[in-house]
Amino acid sequence: MTEVQRPPRDADAVVVGGGFYGAHIAAFLARRLRTVTLCERAPALLTRASYNNQARVHGGYHYPRSILTSLRSRANYPRFIAAYPAAIDRSFTKLYAIARRQSKVTAGQFAEFCRRIGAPVQPADAAQARRFDADHVEAVFEVEECAFDATALAQAVSAAMDAAGVQVCTGGAVRAVRAVRAVLPGGARRLRVQWGDAPGEATDADVVVLCTYSALNDLLADSGLPLVPLVHELTELALIEPPPALRGLGVTVMDGPFWSAMPFPAAGVHSLSHVRYTPHARWPDGGADGHAVRGDAVLRALPPSHAPHMQRDAARYLPEMAAARYLKSLWEVKTILPRSDVDDSRPILARPVDGAPGLVTVVGAKIDSVYDVEEALTAMLDSDGIR
């Protein structure tokens, strides 16, 4: 990737936020536009939610209550794997166990759902199934679902940006984005990305894409622009060393207030997340709720860990989990669109901002849904005649 000390004064497009979304989208835009700059406030790329997550490449299995999200995952899964092969970890067996009580699907419904979305599924072999407590688990299935290595993904997406000619500037936060009238024949409107304190420390561009995820409304508020209705959660992911017998397994217990333990390839350990214990706090943001809380302030005052609760509950379903060794927790602000609450779907946001032509806000739901954002961006650029 071409690293620059300072962003240029002028670019066709600026992408703000160097998580996976920003980096992938910058490379995507640079295949269509001449000059694309990526601005990331951290010293390195993919250090926030794109690292602090469960590393599951979603194969659709997770969403039996949202057929649309599952079908999008089925379409995006092979694309993501083909685009980033060096970041893919298939070295483990992936099991989905259906809880006997409180599950929102039965084993029969889960198997039928997999067949409907075309997701490979088969009963787990008897030795694997016997690991689970039969009082708590109705059935265990083996599926095809892999994990990604966030560090390898950062390298791969950086190489893609390099090949596409993206200029990357790290270590400085964008302060604001404003619509300005350019000193051009016809006085066309452009966008000014203010990345420094001095008036000249800014880049003018035709297209600006905000990929700042949990900090999206921070930047919109600082820019005096309309906020996007979002919901944030303070999340804790425990990193654990599983007992040797579980090292080659990824396990998800479905479908409700259960848990998941699977390889976290970037650190060579497993992650453990729990639907009840991973979220510590939750707050609405934007729209009528205003913008009272900044995620970064929440991350500076962390509550006590829930890891012991996660492990204790997991061991009720898979007794060998009691022997896992807790290492540390990854904390992050997870951002979802309010609609996700209703049906457990994972819609994406890729929307122009009122009053700022050319400015687009993006919030991705899962790593692979970047391809849904690509489609939405293509439609927007085509309709604005931007090539």
Ligand X SMILES: Cc1cc2nc3c(=O)[nH]c(=O)nc-3n(C[C@H](O)[C@H](O)[C@H](O)COP(=O)(O)OP(=O)(O)OC[C@H]3O[C@@H](n4cnc5c(N)ncnc54)[C@H](O)[C@@H]3O)c2cc1C
92 forms part of the interface with ligand X (CB under 6 A): no
- Pick out residues in 317-356 that bind ligand X (CB under 6 A): 332, 334
Residues in the chain: 387
Task: Tell me if 270 contacts ligand X by CB under 6 A.
Answer: no
What distance in Å separates the CA atoms of residue 309 and residue 196, rounded to the nearest whole number? Answer: 44
Residues 361, 364, 365, 369, CA torsion sign: positive
Check binding of 77 to ligand X (CB under 6 A). Answer: no
Question: Near ligand X by CB under 6 A, which window of 16-24, 114-122, 201-209, 319-327?
Answer: 16-24
> 238-275 in b/e burial notation, b at 16+ Cβ within 10 A?
bbbebeeebeebbbbbbbeebbbbbbbbbbebbbbbbb
Assigned token pair, 23: 């980096």
Please, what is the angle between helix 20-30 and helix 370-383, to 10°? 40
Residue 72 interacts with ligand X (CB under 6 A)? no
48 binds ligand X (CB under 6 A): yes
Whole-number Å distance between alpha carbons of 217 and 224: 10
The size of the interface with ligand X (CB under 6 A), counted in residues, is 37
Nearer to ligand X, 42 or 386 (CB): 42
Token pair, residue 275, equals: 């639907």
**Cβ-closest residue to ligand X?**
19
Residue 50 in the binding site for ligand X (CB under 6 A): yes
* Interactions with ligand X, residue window 351-380 (CB under 6 A): 364-368
Rg (CA), the chain: 22
Find the angle CA(148)-CA(151)-CA(152) to the nearest 5 degrees. 65
Q: Is 11 exposed, middle or buried (0-12, 13-18, 19+ CB in 10 A)?
A: buried
Task: State the minimum distance, in angstroms, from the CB of residue 310 to ligand X.
Answer: 12
Tell me, residue by residue from 157 to 196, as one string, x for binding to ligand X by CB under 6 A and - for no binding. ----------------xx----------------------
Considering only residues 214 to 243 of the shown chain, the ones binding ligand X according to CB under 6 A are 215, 219, 235, 237
Shortest gap between Cβ of 125 and ligand X (angstroms)?
25
> Least CB distance from residue 351 to ligand X, whole Å?
14
Q: Is the CB of residue 22 less than 8 Å from the CB of residue 38?
A: yes
Contact (Cβ atoms closer than 8 angstroms) between residue 172 and residue 41 = yes
19 touches ligand X by CB under 6 A: yes
**41 in contact with ligand X (CB under 6 A):** yes
Residue (215 or 318) nearer to ligand X, CB = 215
Residue 1 binding ligand X, by CB under 6 A: no
For ligand X, which is the closer residue by CB, 87 or 107?
Answer: 87
**Residue 56 in contact with ligand X, rule: CB under 6 A:** yes
Nearer Cβ to ligand X, position 107 or 265?
Answer: 265
Q: What tokens were used for 334? A: 């997870």
C-alpha 384/C-alpha 379 separation (Å) is 9
Sites of contact with ligand X (CB under 6 A): 16-22, 39-42, 47-50, 52-56, 58, 173-174, 211-213, 215, 219, 235, 237, 332, 334, 364-368
